[in-house]
Amino acid sequence: MPAQQKNSKKRTSVSEADPTAKKLRLTPSTTREEIVKKRKQPVTLPVSRESDDESSDESDEDQVEDIAVEVEEEDDNGDEDTGGGAGEMLVDAAAAGQKDPNAARESHKVQRALHEQRKAAKPHSQLLVEAKRVWSLARQKNIPPAERQQHVRDLMKIVEGKVKDIVLKHDASRIIQTIVKYGGRKERDQIASELKGHFKQLAEGKYSKFLVSKLIRHCTAHRESILSEFQGYILRLLLHREASSVLADAFELYANAYERSILLRDFYGKEITLFSTNRGTEADKEKAKRGLQGVLEGIEGDRKKRTLSAVKENLTTIFNNPDKGTVTHAIVHRALWEYLATIHDVEDDSEREKLRREIFESCQDVLAEMVHTKDGSRSVREFLAFGTAKDRKHIIKVIKPHIARMCVDDEAQLVIFTALDVIDDTKLTAKSLVSDIISSAETFVTTPQGRRSLFYLLVPRTRRHFTPAQIAIIAETDSIRERTSKKDSAVRSAEIRQAASPSLLKFVEEKGAEVARDTGGSLAILEIMLHAEGDKSAAISALIQPLASAYPSDDPSRPHPIDLPHTSRMYKSLLQGGHFSRSTKVVERTTLFSPAELASAFLSTVDKETTLAMAQGNGAFVVAELLQRIQEECSDESKKKVKRWFSKSFVSNIRNSEVRGKDILIEKILALS
Give residue-wise pLDDT tens across range 225-234: 999 999 999 9
Percentages of the chain per state (helix, strand, coil), in multiples of 5: 70, 0, 25
As a whole number of angstroms, the distance between CA 409 and CA 420 comes to 16
Contact by Cβ (8 Å): 646, 672: yes
C-alpha distances (whole Å) from 389 to each of 228, 350, 370, 490 are: 44, 19, 21, 19
Given a contact cutoff of 8 angstroms between Cβ atoms, the answer to whether 437 and 454 are in contact is yes
Q: Compute the distance between CA of residue 570 and CA of residue 167 in angstroms, rounded to an integer.
A: 61
- Give the span between the Cα atoms of 339 and 647, in whole angstroms: 75
Q: Please, are residues 162 and 127 in contact by the beta-carbon 8 Å criterion?
A: yes
Residue type, 438: I
579: β partners: 588
Residue 245 to residues 178, 226, 252: CA-CA distances in angstroms?
20, 15, 10
Please provide the size of the chain in residues: 673
Cis, peptide link before residue 552, omega less than 30° from 0: yes
Give the pLDDT of residue 25. 40
- Terminal alpha carbon distance of the chain: 90
SS3 297: coil
In the chain, the amino acid numbered 293 is Q
Amino acid at site 401: P
> Are the C-beta atoms of 328 and 42 separated by less than 8 Å?
yes
Residues forming beta bridges with residue 578, ordered by sequence position:
589
User: How far apart are alpha carbons 458 and 497 in whole angstroms?
Assistant: 5
Per-residue model confidence as pLDDT tens digits over 383-432: 999 999 999 999 999 999 999 999 999 999 999 999 999 999 999 999 99
In the chain, which stretches have pLDDT less than 70? Answer: 1-36, 47-101, 115-124, 275-280
Give the single-character DSSP code of 402. G
In angstroms, the Cα distances linking 501 to 126, 202, 645 are 73, 57, 37
Total-model pTM: 0.83
Contact 665, 615 (CB under 8 A): yes
Cβ distance 551 to 560 under 8 Å? Answer: yes
* CA 371 – CA 380 distance, rounded (Å): 7
Rounded CA Rg of the chain: 33
Which pLDDT score is estimated for 276? 60
pLDDT for the residue 101: 62
Report helix angle 595-605 to 636-645, nearest 10.
50
